[in-house]
Amino acid sequence: MNEAHEYLAEDDVLGPLVDEVGALQLDPAEDLYRRIVVSILRQQVSMASAAATRERLFDAVEPTPEEMLEADEEVLRDAGLSRQKATYVRNVAEAFIEEGYDREYFADLDDDAVVEELTSIKGVGDWTANMQLMFALGREDVFPVGDLGIRKGMKTLYDEEMSRAEMVEAAERWRPYRSYASLYLWRATEDIADGVAEVVAED
């Protein structure tokens, strides 16, 4: 068992779910740009739709900033990207090239600074930045309160509707492992557990 699992297993609220599911791990993606493209594809669509688009896109274009910028927009559209998302993945590609984003770049930035940096790119909101923190940078204390699965998990856990502020306050008890707590919350109900592999998948 890892420290996060042991810590959360002792929690009165989350502990039973932790015991039921077992130890979970954050497994950061190797490719930061590829991972943020995956998150952009998942914005406001079903997991199945995003997965199909991802497969077509990565078959058509090597998911690197340079190749994404060189690709004809029609290629991106044919892969299933909306005009808006095609612009977003290009915006992120430009930022990666111009700023030199890599693990070393973000290593000395705290979570809030990473979010601020990433959300300065048009097309990257808080949810996408939080997914990058968790699944590309492996940050252990992220609580993506805007995620639908997290909200469903909190409702299941507490058996009541909660405002975002109430959820954030409730999640304070899981510091410094709120990323791991989020992994468990995504497994709290059957309908979101079915798609959790897609939530955490690198590609």
Type of residue found at 9: A
Same-domain pairing of 84 and 119? yes
Rounded-to-integer distance, Cα 122 and Cα 177, Å: 29
Q: Is the pLDDT of residue 192 over 60?
A: no
Q: What is the CATH number of the domain that holds 46?
A: 1.10.340.30
Structural domain boundaries enclosing 186:
3-26+143-200
pLDDT of residue 74: 93
Return all residues near 197 (Cβ < 8 A) that are at least 6 apart: none
pLDDT digits (tens, 9 = 90+) for 78-103: 999 999 999 999 999 999 999 999 99
Return all residues near 24 (Cβ < 8 A) that are at least 6 apart: 5, 180, 183, 184
Same-domain pairing of 174 and 118? no
pLDDT digits (tens, 9 = 90+) for 1-30: 589 999 999 999 999 999 999 999 998 999
How many domains is the chain partitioned into structurally?
2
Same-domain pairing of 66 and 116? yes
pLDDT of residue 20: 92
Rounded-to-integer distance, Cα 147 and Cα 64, Å: 26
Q: Which carries the bigger pLDDT value, residue 47 or residue 66? A: 66
Same-domain pairing of 120 and 64? yes
Same-domain pairing of 84 and 39? yes
